[in-house]
């Protein structure tokens, strides 16, 4: 921002006009609490049109926000709807949030594990944003699953099951819900102030005792550089801890698809395989363990890291985590046999075809964002806020970087609605991969 300018009373009065509020931020000046509240109110009651919201988002993207502005925006959006409380619960209220990536299905395993260890996990998730998949979209792959129960139903399920993963209700941070959808289609997704306020308005409204942030970094993340990822982690932790929610941020790698799949139903299938022990891709497992460990230690559900890892291993091996996850599926309208028969409740793609290596050598680099956009192109994401999602499409059996292959070997499969769509997506996936003659140096999975 340019030099901060404190608004005079006359400027404040004028600033309630949307165009004046936009102008103040466009010019790099400071928005006080009243001006920010007027913007938040305009998000809720339509006082800001979609074009004005987009302009405001771009002004914030370009000019940034001070800590006070971020706190005021976060609290304003939090208080734009219901704020939950969990009095009478006999365990900690804890959640995790990811800044988003390609193939990031961590929330499902993680919530089930922490719940099985004694935590209550009321997880309010988002839709797909840009090239990243949405947790709520993935759950809607499951026939009958209701991602938008009433607040009363949500609280009852958390109490009885221990966890519930839903999308934003109309009454929970409604200001963010509208801003979130417009950011997706106005190239303002990566704004640190907007990410911070979006995440924390929902999490603070959920009445958490503790939050663990998974801040992704790499070419498939919103934050492509470690410097930006650290800035976002600092922004989130400073605002959240300042608001009284114990928060830890962990930076994890997104320079390749996380796990072996990218797409909605396909990722739910990988989740089932993970929870049942049939397949636990090492990088995915490391991220899940690291985040679960932090959630258990920070809430006092585990005394130290070793105790946490022992508890995680126990609930996975016993099947308790899988059982908790299936109970949530049932409670929110899904089938009672999802763990045993996931494809009985999900639709498979019309066309499934192999993608083959174009060269000999090691898989050295992946343009992960391009893979995510290929999923969007298949219909698995959105290019407009109200667009319908094809839950069946995406990629699976994706080989990790560092593997040596021969030309013609299968490196992934594409799931598509037609042969033409499959062919285009296969070409896009192949172009996203680079090969090397030598063993490549890979990014760490966990950065801190």
Residue of 99, 198, 247, 290 marked catalytic: 198
Residue 6: band (very low, low, confident or very high) from pLDDT cuts 50, 70, 90:
very low
The answer to whether 12 and 29 are in contact (CB under 8 A) is no
Orientation of helix 174-184 relative to helix 192-205, angle to 10°: 150
Residue of 80, 95, 167, 177 marked catalytic: 95
- Rounded mean pLDDT of 405-424? 97
What's the CA gap between 437 and 398, in Å, rounded?
20
- Rounded mean pLDDT of 432-442? 97
Please indicate whether residue 98 is annotated as part of the active site: yes
Residue of 70, 178, 203, 293 marked catalytic: 203
Main-chain dihedrals φ then ψ at residue 164, nearest 5 degrees? -155, 130
Q: Is the pLDDT of residue 145 over 50?
A: yes
pLDDT of residue 167: 87
The first and second tokens of residue 106, run together, are 């961590």
Question: Which range (9-23, 61-75, 271-285, 326-340) has the least confidence?
Answer: 9-23
What's the CA gap between 337 and 48, in Å, rounded?
46
What's the CA gap between 91 and 377, in Å, rounded?
43
- Rounded mean pLDDT of 22-41? 95
What's the CA gap between 308 and 276, in Å, rounded?
20
pLDDT of residue 128: 62
Q: What pLDDT, in 10s, does the model give residues 330-389?
A: 999 999 999 999 999 999 999 999 999 999 999 999 999 999 999 999 998 876 666 788
HEC string of 308-359 equals HHHHHHHHHHCCHHHHHHHHHHHHCCCCCCCCCCHHHCCCCCCEEEEEECCC
What's the CA gap between 147 and 65, in Å, rounded?
32
Please indicate whether residue 152 is annotated as part of the active site: no
Residue of 183, 283, 293, 327 marked catalytic: 183
pLDDT of residue 199: 87
Task: Give the mean pLDDT of the chain.
Answer: 92
Residue of 15, 25, 80, 96 marked catalytic: 96
Percent of the residues in the chain that have a pLDDT greater than 90, as a whole number: 79
Q: Is the pLDDT of residue 7 over 70?
A: no
Residue 293: band (very low, low, confident or very high) from pLDDT cuts 50, 70, 90:
very high
pLDDT of residue 184: 79
Residue of 202, 327, 382, 391 marked catalytic: 202
Q: What pLDDT, in 10s, does the model give residues 47-69?
A: 999 999 999 999 999 999 998 89
Q: Which of 51, 56, 46, 69 is nearest to 21 (CA)?
A: 56
Residue of 15, 80, 98, 237 marked catalytic: 98
Residue of 135, 196, 247, 260 marked catalytic: 135
Please indicate whether residue 253 is annotated as part of the active site: no
- What's the CA angle centered on 317, arms 312 and 320, to 5 degrees? 75
pLDDT of residue 177: 86
pLDDT of residue 134: 84
Please indicate whether residue 230 is annotated as part of the active site: no
The first and second tokens of residue 313, run together, are 């291993």
pLDDT of residue 384: 66
Q: Is the pLDDT of residue 14 over 70?
A: no
Please indicate whether residue 198 is annotated as part of the active site: yes
Relative to beta strand 351-356, strand 410-416 is antiparallel
Q: What pLDDT, in 10s, does the model give residues 94-129?
A: 999 998 899 999 999 999 999 999 999 999 887 665
Please indicate whether residue 135 is annotated as part of the active site: yes
Strand partners for 252 = 216, 446
Q: What pLDDT, in 10s, does the model give residues 205-246?
A: 889 999 999 999 999 998 899 999 999 999 999 999 878 889
The answer to whether 233 and 62 are in contact (CB under 8 A) is no
Residue keyed to tokens 């760490």 = 444
Please indicate whether residue 202 is annotated as part of the active site: yes
Q: Is the pLDDT of residue 46 over 90?
A: yes
Domains with residue ranges and CATH for the chain: 9-63 (1.20.970), 94-343 (3.40.1030.10), 351-436 (3.90.1170.30)
Q: What pLDDT, in 10s, does the model give residues 153-208?
A: 999 999 999 999 998 777 888 999 899 889 978 999 889 899 899 989 988 888 99
Contacts of 104 by beta carbon, 8 Å cutoff, 6+ apart: 98, 132, 133, 214, 216, 254, 258
Contacts of 338 by beta carbon, 8 Å cutoff, 6+ apart: 142, 272, 326, 329, 330, 344, 345
Neighbours of 3 (CB within 10 A): 7
């Amino acid at each position: 921002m340019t030099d901060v300018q404190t608004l005079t009373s006359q400027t404040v009065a004028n600033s309630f006009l949307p165009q004046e509020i936009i102008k103040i931020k466009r010019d790099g000046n400071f928005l006080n609490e009243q001006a920010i509240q007027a913007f938040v109110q305009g998000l809720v009651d339509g006082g800001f049109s979609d074009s004005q919201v987009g302009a405001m988002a771009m002004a914030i993207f370009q000019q940034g926000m001070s800590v006070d502005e971020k706190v005021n925006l976060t609290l304003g959006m939090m208080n734009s709807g219901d704020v939950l409380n969990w009095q009478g619960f006999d365990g900690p209220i804890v959640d995790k949030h990811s800044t988003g990536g390609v193939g990031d299905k961590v929330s499902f395993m993680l919530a089930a594990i922490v719940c099985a260890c004694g935590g209550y996990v009321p997880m309010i998730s988002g839709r797909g944003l840009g090239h990243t998949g949405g947790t709520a979209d993935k759950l809607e792959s499951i026939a009958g699953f209701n991602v938008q129960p009433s607040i009363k139903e949500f609280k009852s399920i958390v109490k009885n099951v221990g966890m519930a993963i839903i999308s934003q209700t109309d009454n929970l941070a409604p200001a963010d819900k509208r801003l979130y959808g417009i950011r997706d289609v106005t190239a303002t997704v990566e704004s640190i102030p907007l990410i911070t306020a979006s995440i924390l308005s929902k999490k603070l409204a959920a009445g958490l005792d503790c939050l663990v942030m998974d801040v992704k970094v790499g070419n498939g993340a919103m934050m492509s550089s470690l410097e930006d990822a650290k800035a976002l982690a600092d922004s989130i932790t400073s605002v959240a801890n300042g608001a009284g929610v114990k928060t830890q941020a962990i930076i994890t790698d997104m320079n390749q698809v996380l796990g072996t799949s990218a797409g909605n139903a396909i990722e739910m299938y990988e989740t089932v395989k993970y929870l049942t022990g049939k397949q636990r891709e090492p990088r995915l497992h490391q991220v899940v363990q690291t985040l679960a460990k932090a959630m258990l230690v920070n809430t006092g559900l585990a005394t130290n890291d070793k105790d946490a890892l022992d508890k995680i291993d126990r609930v996975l091996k016993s099947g308790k985590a899988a059982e908790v996850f299936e109970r949530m599926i049932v409670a929110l309208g899904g089938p009672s046999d999802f763990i045993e028969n996931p494809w009985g409740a999900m639709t498979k793609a019309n066309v499934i075809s192999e993608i083959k290596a174009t060269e000999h050598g090691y898989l050295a680099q992946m343009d992960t964002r391009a893979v995510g956009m290929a999923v969007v192109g298949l219909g698995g994401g959105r290019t407009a806020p109200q667009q319908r999602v094809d839950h069946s499409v995406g990629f699976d059996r994706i080989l990790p970087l560092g593997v040596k292959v021969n030309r013609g070997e299968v490196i992934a499969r594409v799931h598509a609605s037609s042969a033409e769509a499959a062919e285009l997506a296969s070409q896009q996936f192949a172009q996203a991969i680079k090969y090397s003659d030598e063993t490549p140096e890979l990014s760490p999975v966990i950065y801190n």
